[in-house]
A and B are shown apart, each in its own frame.
Chain A
Amino acid sequence: MKYQVNFFVNEEPVELYVDANKTLLNVLREELDLTGAKEGCGAGECGACTVIMNGKPVNACLVLAPELDGAHITTVEGLADREGNLSPLQEAFVKHAALQCGFCTPGFLMTATALLRENPHPTREEIARGISGNLCRCTGYKKIIEAIEDVAEHTEGGVRK
């Protein structure tokens, strides 16, 4: 049985018929060709598939597709504007070398985007705790934390002042 869902992805309306056993990650990657969110474990443990759903960061691999009806989803593809101008966090990740292989990077960016919206000026400890659900094997996290600190200092909730 298919479920009809109407929702928004990066502010664009989407109408789909989805299987009950499909996840938001399946929908994004397979139906909508939005491959920025990655599958690292499929079990909600690594955070590589993090997207923002109704203002909160979620593991897209744990959200069932029928739950999407009425939802507002932001993916990494929705962070830069349509002309490709990067968000402050995206810019800071590049500037601070807060990425290496890049596979976990979209997940970190989404978690950090949600974190700064919720808590525009977090402490270093709050940042570390806030991103501790996202695993990175390359960076050692220091530069990721520094990039987020930089944005917290120079923006209001991740949005340019």
Chain B
Amino acid sequence: MKSVGVSIDRVDGIKKVTGQAKYVDDMKMARMLYAQVKRSPYAHAKILSIDTSEAEKLPGVKSVITGEYYKKRGGLYLEDKNFLAVGTAKFRGEAVAAVAAETLEIAQQAVDLIKVEYEELPAVTNAIEGMKPDAPIIHPDLGSYKVAPIFHPIAGTNISHHFKLRKGDVEKGFAESDYVTEHTYYVPHVQHVPIEPHVAVAQYEADGKLTVWASCQSPFAVRQALAASFDLPLNKVRVISPYVGGGFGAKAGTTLEGIVIPLSMLNCGRPVKLNYTREEEFEDSYVRQGVHIKIKTGVRKDGKILAEKVEYVWDAGAYTEYGVNIVKAAGLAALGPYDIPNAWADSYCVYTNHPVGGPYRGFGMCEIHFGLEQNLDMVAREIGISEVEIRRINGLRAGGITGTGQVLEDSGYQDCLETVVKEMDYDTPSVSPSPTKIRAKGIAGGWKSPSMPTDVASAAIIRMNEDGTFFLMTSGQDIGQGSDTALTQIAAEVLSVDPSKITIRTGDTDHTPYEWQTVASRTTYCAGNAVKLAAEDARDEILDLAQIKMGYGKRDLELRDGFVVHKMHPEIKVPISTFALGLTMPDASGIHGPLIGKGSFVVPNNMGFDHETGQGTKPVAFWTMGVNGAEVEIDTETGEIRVLKMVSCFDPGKVINPKLYDAQVEGAMVQALGTALFEELKLKDGKVLNKSFVDYKIPTADDMPELVVKVAEHAEPTGPFGARGIGEPVMVPGAPAIANAVANALGVRFYRMPITADDVLKALKEKKAQEA
């Protein structure tokens, strides 16, 4: 292959290094107004009154709105959310009113002039407490909310979804086990921290057309949500997503768009812009849900796991319109990439008065694997086998059965495990150069499937220009992961042209074709399949015309380097540009017209599952599996943990661009390192205490370990050129691999992320006291 599997440069590289890539905040529009938001100072409070009169009097203020202005609820899977609070404010920082003004400064002043009277209500700040029968109820009308049929809110409680997985006979499995262990873990809230904060501009025009420029991952999903919320026909809503400065899930749904739209409707013709500050980003966009994890594992003395029972209680925040699906995804993946005959899982989505939980890279997987992979190490220790051996015994193989009862035709897990063991020289103990420092290695596996509905759709269109170059149009969004480049390579491969001959256009719902969402590590796979089909369609049209022009049968012709070539006589060739506008016949008449290929894709045979047991033939499109190794060094005097090396090996099916693959994996490992060692959204009584980069540290170049990226390719039969998605899965085993390495170094287990220097010092002190 000439284009697929090749490390070409990013197609957006030059625009990004010159500062010429325009992000939403870089747009300056004539007569633009600026929006600001009034936010609740309480985690849970009844809104008694909102007085906007002083704000409205301020010169330069154009409009002030409250939740009363637009009361309709919306949401992706569960319609539980208002863009501005109605009746009660359900988390600290929730938007209760918004202002549009001539300048940002005036808008900020106006927000301060809005007076809100509240009556504080008891708050739920712990998900386990929130499940109890006497807990304050955050959504009293939950039973009447519109919900997608795969989710099951429990009316009169704070539980907006309960996912159940039941496989085999778990109690029998425990009874037959030689050793049973049970542990609990807690993973706190973290934030995605895209370097570009959320931003949107909305403009409403007198003919009823609404245009929204948003830093968003999924313009079609945003269009759908906004059209439904504001009762607009889809042909009157245009969502444009230009360059996006990182998303990681934070920009997957709708957040601030719903605030600027009503303001734009009150100021016909004038664009209204809202740009979140970093503080707002931490508290008011999306956060990763916290989760309480309980895992009970039963194992035979030969290392075979016979039974596993898990409970995940998700601290999902004030609105769970998106969060219910994370809870479902975690339930479907509840056991990790292991073949366990008897299993029982409950995954609960629980409302709390915390910031809104949303999709974050890994989508439930990074969280549950922190528990699963540590539990596995502990089980191995108890029965006296190595952490590698227990994974060899239980890791999924071809023919293995997943937790949801799916028989796998193939599995790359074991190859990944052996590759990491070799690359880490895992069986050779780490040697510390200093008596006050301890070094050790750790390992962890992980998996993820695209957590998407079974029938989601993708489309692509490819148009040939008169000179044989192409425009490729999709709405799979490049949010940094490199999909513009990968999709271009897929089209170039099919059409046998250099990727530079293809210009990709994305992210404009009026002009680029439908794409469900850019989430779930599904773009290379789903949009990639649509692109491949579109390119094949274009190729077919070219060959149809070529057989007339060239006088040879289509079966003997192929595309090669910009030409239609006779397979057996390559000297017989015609440039593909000949057919760009159709074909001119010998009598000078034309046929066919401009050449356009189209492709539509849905995942084949991706079916629903039984809602009582979670069992199904093929409830997910595919599983992406892999393993991480980590080597850490711990300073016993300061408690500081330094990650020296991380190794990743995953099964991506087929790597489309090795350079960009490595880049994705490296970024994921360092992001995982951040969550393992320092990231936590510190919440007290519903208040976020660390809303800045000073107080919420993310990894810097100084924290970067040696990063090694390996692959074990087992082609995905339904993927474009065998590819499956990797962007999220590759983050999953990072944090538990580090946690396992820390435990190996200290002989002490940590059941909570992040593992800080303070935790280490405390543990060392306790250990010393015990030994004494």
Contact = CB atoms under 8 A, between A and B. Distances in A.
**A pairs with B:** yes
Interface of A: 29-30, 33-43, 45-46, 48, 75-77, 79-80, 84, 86, 90, 93-97, 99-106, 109, 127-129, 131-145
Contact of A144 (B9, B21, B192, B701): B701
B479 interface: yes
A46 B195 contact: yes
Interface stretch (B252-260, B339-347, B571-579, B692-700): B692-700
A63 to B, nearest CB: 18
Contacts of A35: 19, 22-23, 25-26
Most buried by B among A77, A128, A137: A137
Interface in B607-661: 659-660
A96 B278 CA distance: 29
B16 A99 contact: yes
B13 A99 contact: yes
B17 interface: yes
Contacts, number: 177
B668 interface: yes
Contacts of A96: 659
Contacts of B670: 139-141
Contacts of A39: 25
Given A97-B10, A97-B659, A101-B194, 17 more contacts: A38-B195, A38-B196, A39-B25, A46-B195, A48-B195, A76-B17, A86-B18, A90-B14, A90-B17, A95-B9, A100-B246, A100-B664, A128-B701, A131-B701, A137-B195, A140-B699, A145-B704
B358 interface: no
B515 interface: no
Contacts of A144: 701
A34 B26 CA distance: 9
A115 to B, nearest CB: 11
19 contacts: A38-B195, A39-B25, A40-B195, A46-B278, A48-B195, A90-B18, A93-B17, A100-B664, A102-B243, A102-B245, A103-B195, A103-B245, A103-B246, A137-B192, A137-B671, A140-B671, A140-B699, A140-B704, A143-B662
Contact of A128 (B247, B659, B668, B704): B704
B482 interface: yes
A45 B243 CA distance: 23
Nearest to B696: A45
A109 B17 contact: yes
B692 A43 contact: yes
Contacts of B662: 97, 143
Contacts of A102: 12, 15-17, 21, 243, 245, 480
A91 to B, nearest CB: 8
Nearest to B243: A102
Given A36-B19, A104-B195, A86 B9 contact: no
Interface in B683-710: 692-694, 698-702, 704, 707
B407 interface: no
A129 B704 CA distance: 11
Nearest to A106: B19
A30 B26 CA distance: 9
Nearest to B27: A35
A100 B704 contact: no
B197 interface: yes
Interchain residue pairs A-B with the least CB separation, the first 5? A36-B19, A101-B480, A103-B245, A102-B16, A140-B670
A100 B730 CA distance: 16
Contact of B479 (A101, A109, A142): A101
Contacts of B693: 41, 43, 45-46, 135
Contact of B702 (A79, A90, A129): A129
A138 B669 CA distance: 10
For the residues of A in contact with B, the DSSP-based class is loop
B667 interface: yes
B663 interface: yes
Nearest to A30: B28
A75 B663 contact: no
A137 B193 contact: yes
A145 B701 contact: yes
A93 B699 CA distance: 20
Contacts of A137: 192-195, 246, 248, 667, 671, 698
B481 interface: yes
A127 B701 CA distance: 9
B195 A101 contact: yes
B702 A77 contact: no
A79 B18 contact: yes
A94 to B, nearest CB: 4
Contacts of B671: 137, 140
A103 B700 contact: no
B246 to A, nearest CB: 4
B537 interface: no
A100 B25 contact: no
A77 B23 CA distance: 15
Contacts of A133: 700
Given A97-B663, A102-B243, A42 B277 contact: yes
Given A97-B10, A97-B659, A97-B660, A76 B698 contact: no
Contacts of A101: 194-196, 243-247, 479-480
Contacts of A136: 195
B648 to A, nearest CB: 11
B280 to A, nearest CB: 11
A34 B10 CA distance: 23
Contacts of A40: 195-197, 278
A141 B482 CA distance: 16
Nearest to A102: B16
A100 B26 contact: no
Interface string B670-681: 110000000000
Given A40-B196, A101-B245, A137-B194, A45 B666 contact: no
Nearest to A95: B9
B278 A132 contact: no
Nearest to B199: A39
Contacts of A142: 666, 704, 707
Contacts of A29: 26
Contacts of B278: 40-43, 45-46
Given A46-B693, A137-B248, A140-B667, A132 B10 contact: no
A76 B20 CA distance: 9
Contacts of A48: 195
Interface in B206-264: 243-248
Given A48-B195, A94-B10, A142-B704, A99 B17 contact: yes
Given A40-B195, A103-B245, A106-B19, A138 B667 contact: yes
